[in-house]
Copies of this chain bind each other. A is one copy, B any other.
Amino acid sequence: MKPVKIGFLGFGTVGQGAATVLTRNAAEISRRIGQDIVVKSASVRNLDRKLDPLLGEVELTQDSESIVNDPDIDVIVEVMGGDEPARTLLLAAIANGKHVVTANKALVACHGADIFEAAREHGVSVAFEAAVAGGIPVIKSIREGLAGNKIQWVAGIINGTCNYILTEMLQKGREFEDVLEEAKALGYAEADPTFDIEGIDAAHKLTILASIAFGVPLQFEAVHIEGISSITREDTAYAQELGYRIKHLGMAIDTGNGIELRVHPTLIPERRLIANVDGVMNAVLIQADAVGPTLYYGAGAGAEPTGSSVVADIMDVVRVATASVDNRVPTLAFQHDALIDTQSIKSADFQTSYYLRILAEDKPGVMAEISRVLADEAISIEAIVQKEPVDDSGKLPIVLLTKRIAEGSMNNAITKLESLSAIEGNVTRIRMETLAGS
């Protein structure tokens, strides 16, 4: 049988990682799939770049169009990142009848609908396991492994940079900025880490997870997004004293009245397995009606872990090429005409519990004022801890845990709290989820 030929658009960390895995494990892969898979060519910005000798046979070009137009290439792997020219090149490849594998989460989250429609028209597959949680086969697990279930919610640690920073803040008592600088130096964080620490990257991934979990259209713009830059090392320590860990979670919840899509720091009970996922590792916890909770853990980034998912996608795409198009696993898990445009719930209507940290003057009556504001919004207090002063200002940090309440009520309460003369600066608010049953 003639080998399957692959062309890469972009050949950076992930591209070379995937090509290395394909080449090093060629015999093993051929034993599994019954065909040889060969990397034919890759487009790069700079032709002088040095490659691992293992990749010596790969033809390099600066002309990406020559790859998508090469009749000898069966599958295109897009690992350029960004919107353009990735989108235009993928559409051209699809129009040429090529199957497509991409690791580009932003592209899938924001332009997936167009790309998938083009793929349907041309009878080709689009696969994107590497776009979410790196090497963890979570797209496959949701789309196929849990296909018999009605999924109730998904909660994922899906940005390794955020998880690394929060882990270091807790375990070593380090400041946010200090860890961030180190993460950049170690290559965990990009030179411009905004996408990671402000939650944009996690929101792209959550958009994809929510679509395949619930059978709803991709709707990045509906995600409520918060990053981790407002979390202090004191917050991580106070949370631990109360039996919780702070994790940056992407959550998609089918409430029955609509879908909550949210990315934010979250207190979760330390006894949950996912609370113990530390460092750069990722994990996705899924609650579904038949199976209950399942969790998928592994590396969320890196050359070969992400390459592992790219290679699995290539093998899937090659395998199902002989199946009738209607019988392939649907791109977004549900048949394209069976997506339901379920309403996204506005953040003011999110229901959750809260951790609040308030810096208050050390004088009588302050606690009474705070309690009254919360009571006026019907917010019940679960626990209150008054902490030692952290500086010489004489102000005391007060940490409160509340019961579940609509976010709109909490917004009102925080506005009122911040206007109290005895309270200094902003109230820090971190949402809290029990992830019950997991």
Interface residues of A (CB under 8 A from B): 17, 21-22, 24-25, 28-34, 129, 135-137, 140-141, 144-150, 215, 273, 276-277, 288-299, 302, 304-305, 307-312, 314-316, 318-324, 326-330, 333-335, 338
Contact = CB atoms under 8 A, between A and B. Distances in A.
A21 B319 contact: no
Contacts of A146: 137, 308, 312
Contacts of A334: 31-32
Nearest to A311: B148
Nearest to A129: B145
A120 B418 CA distance: 71
- Count copies of this chain in the complex: 2
B273 A277 contact: yes
Contact of A136 (B22, B294, B309, B322): B294
Given A298-B294, A322-B327, A145 B150 contact: no
A22 B147 CA distance: 10
A148 B315 contact: yes
Contact of A292 (B30, B32, B298): B298
Given A147-B33, A305-B292, A320 B327 contact: yes
20 contacts: A28-B149, A28-B215, A31-B215, A32-B333, A32-B338, A34-B335, A137-B140, A137-B146, A140-B144, A146-B308, A273-B297, A290-B307, A291-B308, A292-B299, A292-B302, A294-B298, A296-B296, A320-B327, A322-B323, A323-B323
B327 A305 contact: no
A292 B301 CA distance: 11
Contacts of A312: 144-148
Contact of A291 (B30, B135, B290, B319): B135
Nearest to A335: B34
B319 A329 contact: yes
Contacts of A297: 273, 293-297
B290 A298 contact: no
B298 A21 contact: no
A10 to B, nearest CB: 19
A410 to B, nearest CB: 32
Contact of A148 (B299, B307, B321): B307
A109 B400 CA distance: 54
Nearest to A320: B323
Contacts of A335: 31-34
Contacts of A318: 327
A137 B148 CA distance: 12
Contacts of A328: 319
B149 A25 contact: yes
Given A137-B141, A141-B141, A32 B305 contact: no
A305 B326 CA distance: 28
A233 to B, nearest CB: 21
A327 B321 contact: yes
Listed residue (A30, A290, A308) with the most chain B CB atoms within 10 angstroms of its CB:
A290
Contact of A327 (B17, B298, B299, B319): B319
